[in-house]
């Protein structure tokens, strides 16, 4: 075992350190890798990713919902419980701290609430939220109900509750493949990157559009774009700087040197 003081200090790449100190408006775009060190699996990691065991069409599409709503509801209920039992990591905490010192807009693809539980304000949840289910028929928002049996396994079927107003099935509050993003959430995210002078792209593989188009929008609007991710991604080429580190290692070091 190594004591924390024995760990080598994290060195922030100089161009990023300077850009972070000089920026007056920062936008941070986050994906599943942001929450990986909180114990929430990403989607596309070859060993642990959620899409290794499941077909996204079955769990994250209107067709999947029509075919087997109990499977879909059980999976999202299982994930919500996993998130509820997890804690924000040092990267989430660092972003919350940065927001106290500077204008930092966070737009996330994540449907968890770990940014908020770290004390950060999220400008935009572009793919919705695990904790904001709504009626699949009349659209009325439903309270997230954390009572009742929690599925022990990801593939355990749980019948969705019924809407008290119309009797329709309550569906998860995540945006699915084939659905439009909530207009306000998308407009806010796009506006944030257009107006930022520094855009950090943290923990996303950059394969799901339109979110994956935001780094290019930022770049063409004149922002410095920095990727924080342990590996190359589909949006690495859009970045002015690529920092091969993790969210919970890189972000605290970056914010500490401001
Ligand atoms: P992915 O699973 O596609 O990508 C996660 C990224 O995080 C990868 O590039 C990893 O290298 C990186 N990563 C892993 N651990 C990390 C760490 N500790 N720190 C930083 N980066 C790390 O997840 P997303 O890009 O978020 O949509 O996926 C986009 C969308 O696809 C999701 O919102 C979801 C999914 O299907 C829907 O369900 C509609």
Average pLDDT for the chain? 95
- Asked if residue 3 is part of any domain, the answer here is no
The answer on pLDDT for 2 being more than 60 is no
From 146, 171, 196, give the residue that closes a domain.
Answer: 171
**pLDDT level of residue 47 (50, 70, 90 thresholds):** confident
For range 221-243, the mean pLDDT: 98
The answer on pLDDT for 171 being more than 60 is yes
Residue 71 CA to ligand 1 centre (angstroms): 22
- Asked if residue 4 is part of any domain, the answer here is no
Contacts of 219 (CB under 8 A, 6+ apart): 225, 238, 240
**pLDDT level of residue 5 (50, 70, 90 thresholds):** low
Measured from CB, residues less than 6 Å from any atom of ligand 1 are 31-33, 36-37, 42-44, 49, 56, 60, 109, 127, 174-177, 202-205, 207-208, 229-231, 233, 246-247
Residue 34 CA to ligand 1 centre (angstroms): 8
- Residue closest via CA to ligand 1's atom 19 equals 246
pLDDT at 15: 96
In the chain, the number of structural domains is 2
Residue 137 CA to ligand 1 centre (angstroms): 30
**Cα dihedral angle (157, 152, 130, 99), rounded to 10 degrees?**
-170
**162: how many CB neighbours lie within 10 A of its CB?**
14
Whether 202 and 257 share a structural domain: yes
The answer on pLDDT for 92 being more than 80 is yes
**pLDDT level of residue 70 (50, 70, 90 thresholds):** very high
From 142, 171, 200, give the residue that closes a domain.
Answer: 171
pLDDT at 150: 84
- Asked if residue 28 is part of any domain, the answer here is yes
Which residues are part of the catalytic machinery?
127
Whether 238 and 186 share a structural domain: yes
Domain that holds residue 194: 9-40+87-131+181-258
pLDDT at 251: 98
pLDDT at 26: 98
Whether 126 and 201 share a structural domain: yes
pLDDT at 4: 57
- CATH code for position 60: 3.30.1600.10
pLDDT at 53: 86
pTM for the model stands at 0.96
Atom of ligand 1 nearest to the CA of 111: 33
Whether 243 and 148 share a structural domain: no
The answer on pLDDT for 102 being more than 90 is yes
Euclidean distance between CA atoms 18 and 107, whole angstroms: 23
Q: Say which residue, 142 or 147, is predicted with more confidence.
A: 142
- Asked if residue 159 is part of any domain, the answer here is yes
**Site to substitute for ligand 1 among 10, 30, 31, 89, most atoms within 8 A of C-beta:** 31
Residue 233 CA to ligand 1 centre (angstroms): 10
Sheet containing 198-202: which strands, arranged edge to edge? 124-125, 103-108, 25-30, 198-202, 224-228, 241-243
The answer on pLDDT for 180 being more than 60 is yes
- CATH code for position 243: 3.40.50.1220
- Asked if residue 214 is part of any domain, the answer here is yes
Whether 191 and 236 share a structural domain: yes
């Amino acid at each position: 075992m190594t004591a924390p003081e024995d760990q080598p200090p994290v060195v922030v790449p100089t161009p990023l350190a300077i850009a972070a100190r000089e920026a007056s408006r920062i936008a941070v775009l986050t994906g599943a890798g942001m929450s990986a060190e909180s114990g929430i699996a990403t989607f596309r990691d070859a060993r642990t990713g959620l899409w290794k065991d499941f077909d996204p069409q079955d769990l994250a599409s209107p067709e999947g919902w029509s075919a087997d709503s109990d499977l879909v509801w059980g999976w999202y209920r299982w994930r919500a419980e996993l998130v509820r039992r997890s804690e924000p990591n040092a990267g989430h905490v660092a972003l919350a701290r940065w927001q106290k010192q500077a204008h930092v807009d966070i737009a996330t693809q994540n449907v968890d609430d770990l940014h908020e539980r770290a004390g950060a304000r999220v400008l935009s949840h572009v793919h919705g939220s695990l904790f904001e289910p709504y009626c699949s028929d009349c659209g009325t928002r439903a309270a997230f109900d954390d009572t009742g049996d929690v599925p022990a396994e990801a593939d355990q079927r749980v019948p969705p509750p019924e809407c008290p107003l119309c009797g329709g099935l309550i569906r998860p509050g995540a945006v699915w493949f084939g659905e439009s993003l909530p207009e306000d959430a998308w407009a806010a995210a796009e506006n944030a990157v257009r107006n930022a002078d520094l855009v950090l792209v943290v923990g996303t593989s950059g394969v799901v559009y339109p979110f994956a188009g935001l780094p290019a929008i930022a770049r063409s609007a004149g922002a410095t774009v920095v990727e924080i991710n342990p590996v190359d991604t589909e949006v690495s080429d859009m970045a002015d700087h690529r920092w091969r580190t993790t969210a919970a290692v890189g972000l605290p070091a970056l914010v500490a040197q401001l």
